[in-house]
Every structure is written in structure tokens, then in C-alpha cells.
Amino acid sequence: MPPLRLLLPAIPFAALSIAVPLVNRVEPRILGLPFVLAWISAWVALTPAFLWVLGRLEKRW
Amino acid sequence: MVSSSPAVSLAIVAAVVLATIVFALLGVHRIKMNPRQFIVGGRSFGTLFLWVLLAGEIYTSFTFLGAAGWAYGLGAPAYYILAYGTCAYIIGYFLLPAVWRAGKEHDLLTGPDFFTAFYGSKTLTVAIAVCQFVLVVPYVTLQLSALQILLQMAGYGRYDATASVAVAFILIALFVLTAGLRGTAWASIIKDILVIGAVLFAGVAIPMRFFGSPAAMLDRFVRLHPQMLALVPGTSAHGTIWFVTTVLLTATGFFMGPQSMIATYSGKSEAALRRNAVLLPLYQLILLLMIFAGFSALLIAPGLHGTQVDRSFLTVVARYYPSWVLGLIAGAGALAALVPASGLLLAAASVFVKNVLGDAFGVTASDAARTPATRVAVIVVALLALGLWLAVPRTIVELLLIYYNGITQFAPGVFAALVWRRADAWSVGAGLLAGFAVAIPLTYANIEPWGINAGFAALLINAAVVVVVSLLRPSGSSDATRSSPGNRPAYRRAD
């Protein structure tokens, strides 16, 4: 299991790049958004949280 | 249809641009200019001011027109715009503080200076300076093409905008040679506020007026164009492989431009940079609204093709909204072209004066000579970009591709400098040559091998060459100054 300090940035990065072909569907739609667009938007919104936790872990703030 | 008055909308655009310039000049009028102040704002920008500057430079007219245009013309491939910026900020969380630290320790001013600090080769620095200079000019030209679209649309297509583009652009060049990077940051404040307003209007108000809500617009879109809402699987043009490789390429190249390096150096502290990497994805979310704007435009005003798709959502505004609304939206768009252009002019001019004139020919080496020389160079770069724009008409996307495919080739050298001490000037130089040798013909012929983004293919070959050449060279050759203990890379200077 890689350390959390690697996973925290790697998860959103992978979700927004190599994982996109795996979720490339219109249905089910979420809040009206096609699934793939909802997936991307959700990860964009979550990324600050992942990076903030990483900063806490590294004692940056 | 509403009555349309080009005089009203164009007057508003002019007022917005002039008011922004005056505001920014007031913001800097007490600052005494030396090269550090002029080019990197005295390395004093805190988190918020830096956020405004970065957002101001990153979210250009391409984001403004291109995101809606891609959603209108292609559909799902436009989603890449949301993804790549966010991936870039994740890289930036690690990269930006490291670049800033090098900038602070070695008093770096330009993008190529970074390579001098780590690789100590004047030849490499000058070669990189020339390449970066050549690549920034089409990026400025892109802003001019966008500005032309905006001014033509604001004038309801009734006049040729070429002359007004030239006037606005020369105005912004004069502005940046007066106010420097701090001026660009002040201008970014107004630009960001207006662009956010315009984006909310485009992505929320337009769908509400025509469909009841953005969700209702999407319902309608799913019924009419379901095939546009997901990517084509596999290796076809703008398919899933293209998506992944393009996100990886553009995320890697995101902070490689000399204008990004300058903005990074301008931060007050590592923490200010790191906080920005955490916060900037939130700004990225508003681009979702530009995708809504493009989808709405396709439902309301179908029938635009080719490069015309860049005009999609402005066409809706021009047809169905009063002239003052069009004026404000086009004004926001004009700032989204002019403010980043000012940062690009400054970056290209400082690269030319410091790294080409200074490092290669030994002139303008003193601080006292450098500020006036950089000011003259701003005008020279502006005229060059204007000339290229008049001589070779190209679409916005073509220009962006040229820029990204080229600028990303500097990434292996930047990353190796920070994490892999074996790389030296020879291996980085060889990688760059290989990268350009692949990128230039593929970009020129518009070939994407197996659906892979051409610049990404070049980047992989570039990185492979850097690794192989580094390993082939005897390990002692990267001299003793780099093998100091500790986990931070050892810096060395050119002279």
C-alpha cells in the first residue's frame, strides 16, 4: 500500500485522466449532468479537499 | 429579436478596457521600477494577489470562447478543459514551491534562468530562450484572433475589426511597459470579476431564459444530441485515447511557459504558491458553466461550423439580448484576451533581453540598462505578434496546439532539475531536440498517431532521450556541486 502522501494527489489525478475512459457514459445522469461530466466535475470540486489534507499531513498548515 | 446598436456595445467595450487600464495604473503609480519589480513584482505577492494574477493569466480568451465553442462543435471533448487544469494544479502543488525556491535562492527573473541555475550551460539557456520566445508569439497571436472575434461580434459584424484590434493591442503593450507585472495583476482584478459575471450569465442566465433551468437545458440536449455527451471510445479523433493523452500533455505543460515561471517567482512565499495550487481548481469549476453556454447555444442557434463555433454563445447574446449586455460580455472577453497578452508580452520581452541579449551577447547585463531595454522589447514583441497575426491567419485551436506541443517539451528539463540529479545540460538538450523533431512535423501535418496527442508522443520521446543520454554519460560528469547530501537538489550557478 503506497503511503497516503502519494495516494492523496494520485487519486484525483488518475480520476481526471486515465480513469475517464472507464466512466465514459451518459447514463445515469446526476443532477441533469451526463455521468462522465458529473464524474469530472465532482473530482474537480474534490481536488482542493485532497490537496488540503495533503498539506495538513505534510504540516504545511 | 432586440434592437442592436453597435455604437452602444462597442462604446461599452472601449470603456471597460480603458477603465481597467486606468484602475491598474492607479494601483501601481507609487511603485519605483527596477527589473525585479518590473518583471517579478519584487517577489512580494501574497496568496490572494497571486491567485488573482494566476487566474488572470491562466483563464484567457481561449477558455472564454474556446470552451463554449468546443462544447458547441464537438460536445464531450470539451470536458478535457475541466480536467487538465485541475491535474495541472495537482502537479503545481509540488512544482510551484520548488520553482519559487530556486527563483528566490538564485534571484531568477525569467523562465530560461531556471535552466541556467540547474544545468549551468549558457548554450542550453540561450537555445531555450530562443525557443520560448518563438513559442510565446503565437500564443499572443491567439489572443489577437480572439479579440478580433469579440470586437466583430460587439459591432454586430458590421465592420472590420482589424484596426481596432491593433489599437487595443498597442494600448495594452504601452500599459504593460509602464506598469510591469504588478500592473497585470491589478488589471486581473477587474478582468476576473467581469469574466466570472459573464460566465454566470452565459451558463446560468441563458439556459434559464430559454429552457427554464440548466438541468432542463441538459434534458433537452440529451434528447436531441445524446451522442455528443460522451466521448467516442478508442483511437478516433477526439476519442478517449486523445482525451487522456491531451489531459496529460496539457497538465504537464501548464506551468512551463515563461509567463507562468514569472508569475511563480512573483509569490511572496512557498506557502502562497501552495495555497494557490489548492484553491485554483475551484476557479476551474466555473468552466462547467461555459460548457453549458456552448450546449445552450447549439440548441438556440444551431448551424455554425468550423472556426465559427468560437462565436457560438456570443451569437446568442447578440441576437436575443440588448446591446449593453453584449457590450459588457464582449468587454469581459476583451480583457480575457488583453490581460494575459500583457503578461505574455512581458515574459517574452524579458526572455529576449535577459537571456538572448544578455546571456548570448553580453549587452544589457546591468540592472540599470535592463528595465528600459525590456520596455523597448515589449513593443518589439507586440509588433511581431501583430505582424504574424496579419500575415498568417489561423484558428484559435491551431494556435493553442502549436504553443502547447512546443512549450511542454521543456517539462523534462524542469522536472529532472528538481528530482533527478543525473540529468545534465547534454541530456536535457538532446531530449529537447528529439521532442521538437517529433512535435514540429506532427503538429504541422496535424497527425495524431493512434489517436495519441502529437505533443504527448513528442514528450514521451523527449523524456526517454533525457533518461537514456543521462545514463550513458559517466556519472562523474555532472560535477561535484550537484552531489551534496540531503534530499533537496543541489543548485549550481552559471558563472
pLDDT digits 0-9 by tens, B38-83: 888 888 888 888 888 888 888 888 877 888 999 999 999 999 999 9
Residues 6+ positions from A59 with CB-CB distance below 8 Å: none
Structure confidence at residue A1 as a pLDDT band (50, 70, 90): low
Out of A26, A43, A45, name the one closest to residue B230 (CB): A26
pLDDT digits 0-9 by tens, B287-312: 999 999 999 999 999 989 887 888 88
A30, A47, A53: best mutation site toward chain B, by most B Cβ within 10 Å?
Answer: A47
Q: What is the DSSP letter of B359?
A: I
- Ordered by start, the domain boundaries in chain B are 6-399
Q: How much is the pTM?
A: 0.90
> In percent, how much of chain B has pLDDT > 70?
94
Give the relative orientation of helices B258-265 and B122-154 as an angle to the nearest 10 degrees: 100
Asked if B293 and B71 count as a contact pair (C-beta separation under 8 A), the reply is yes
Alpha carbons B124 and B426: distance in angstroms, whole number? 8
Q: Does B233 lie at the interface with A, CB-CB under 8 angstroms?
A: yes
Query: Which residues of A are less than 8 Å from B94 in CB distance?
Result: 9
Q: Does B230 lie at the interface with A, CB-CB under 8 angstroms?
A: yes
Out of B233, B274, B288, name the one closest to residue A24 (CB): B233
Residue A45 to residue B243, Cβ atoms within 8 A: no
- Ordered by start, the domain boundaries in chain A are 7-57
Q: Does B130 lie at the interface with A, CB-CB under 8 angstroms?
A: no
pLDDT digits 0-9 by tens, A25-58: 998 999 999 999 999 999 999 999 999 999 999 8
Q: Nearest Cα to B341, choosing from B90, B61, B43?
A: B61
| Other CB atoms within 10 A of residue B3 CB | 7
Residue A21 to residue B243, Cβ atoms within 8 A: yes
Q: Does A23 lie at the interface with B, CB-CB under 8 angstroms?
A: no
| Matching CATH number, B6-399, of 1.10.760.10, 3.40.50.80, 1.10.150.170, 1.20.1730.10 | 1.20.1730.10
Instruction: Please compute Rg for chain B using Cα positions.
Output: 22
**CA-nearest residue of chain A to B271?**
A60
Alpha carbons B205 and B214: distance in angstroms, whole number? 9
Q: Any idea what the Cα angle at residue B63 is, between residues B208 and B159, rounded to 5°?
A: 85
The size of the A-B interface in CB pairs under 8 A is 107
Distance, in angstroms, between B294 CA and closest chain A CA? 14
Distance, in angstroms, between B248 CA and closest chain A CA? 7
The overall average pLDDT reported for chain B is: 86
Alpha carbons A44 and A50: distance in angstroms, whole number? 10
- Collect the ranges in chain B with pLDDT lower than 70: 1-2, 364-365, 393-395, 397, 475-495
Residue A55 to residue B274, Cβ atoms within 8 A: yes
Q: What is the DSSP letter of B489?
A: P
Q: What is the mean pLDDT of residues A6-29?
A: 94
